[in-house]
Amino acid sequence: MTSDTKQDYQERLLRVLVHIQTHLDETLPLDDLARIAHFSAYHFHRIFRGMVGEGVKEHVRRLRMERAAHRLKHTDEPVTRIAFEAGYEAHEAFTRAFRSMFDQSPSEFRQTHRPLPLKDVPSGVHFSINGKVESITPAQTGDIPMEVRVEQVAPMKLAFVRHVGPYNEVGSAWQKLMAWAGPNGMLGPNMKLLGIVHGDPEVTPPERIRYDACLLVNPAFEGQGEIGAQEIAGGDYAIARHTGPYERLGDTYAGLCGQWLPGSGRKLRAGPGFEVYLNSPQTTAPEDLITDIHVALEP
């Protein structure tokens, strides 16, 4: 396969992967996915398996099951409803499939993975809506108070490079994105860099975690080879500011989802969270890195 052909295949496959992750509640027939990728249905499943490392049905089933596990952890939705949203009409079939993936029943998983109860901490942690403080809600990450604000975020068009594997190996995706962005005149002081986090390390095997290194672009942008295009949906987001090394981002996610969220009266909305990087690890000490973590909320 030549370099140009490989880039063409990557671009077409990225379109399919983005379509799958944004349409998990739909039936996703193989013929429709092949049509999106402009491959023949006869060859598509072989190309998909060869490039992704798992078959189409296996990939869709895994994403739905990981989403179900996330909802078991962070919501009080009935197991029957979560099973139906994962594509199972029978509770028993969902339980068998869930146990085969996580070695626990859905109820056992919920019990062992529920966030820790909200801790009593001094007031002074602000909960604000669109910049206006509405109430003071305790939240913390370890012993560090955490400011959480709720804002309405506009839809964003992004150019991205996908990394599949452990989070601590995402550097190569950023290198590819920056190497493309530089010659295209997209680097500068006003550029906006984001990371879209599709996997939960407690749910997704490290080798299957999906992370997109992203750059905000013009709404008319279309994918180019391994540089994909996708849109982040607008709406309400809970935003927590993390100060410190990226290796500790998980602590702030835990505080946001496991401590602030249960006491906020809000519910998570379907869709991945994302991170906005406000300074660069190339010029900033790890302890001074600033990241705004965004988690989608229902209206």
pLDDT in tens, 72-119: 988 888 999 999 989 898 989 999 999 999 999 999 999 888 765 544
Residues forming beta bridges with residue 148, ordered by sequence position: 127, 240
Nearest to residue 250, comparing CAs of 196, 293, 207?
293
Residues forming beta bridges with residue 153, ordered by sequence position: 235
Helices (H), 75-170: 79-85, 91-102, 106-113
pLDDT for 1 equals 59
Indicate the pTM of the whole model: 0.74
Does position 271 have pLDDT exceeding 90, yes or no? no
Number of residues in the chain: 299
User: H or E segment at 70?
Assistant: helix 56-74
Does position 139 have pLDDT exceeding 70, yes or no? no
CB atoms within 10 A of CB 244: 18
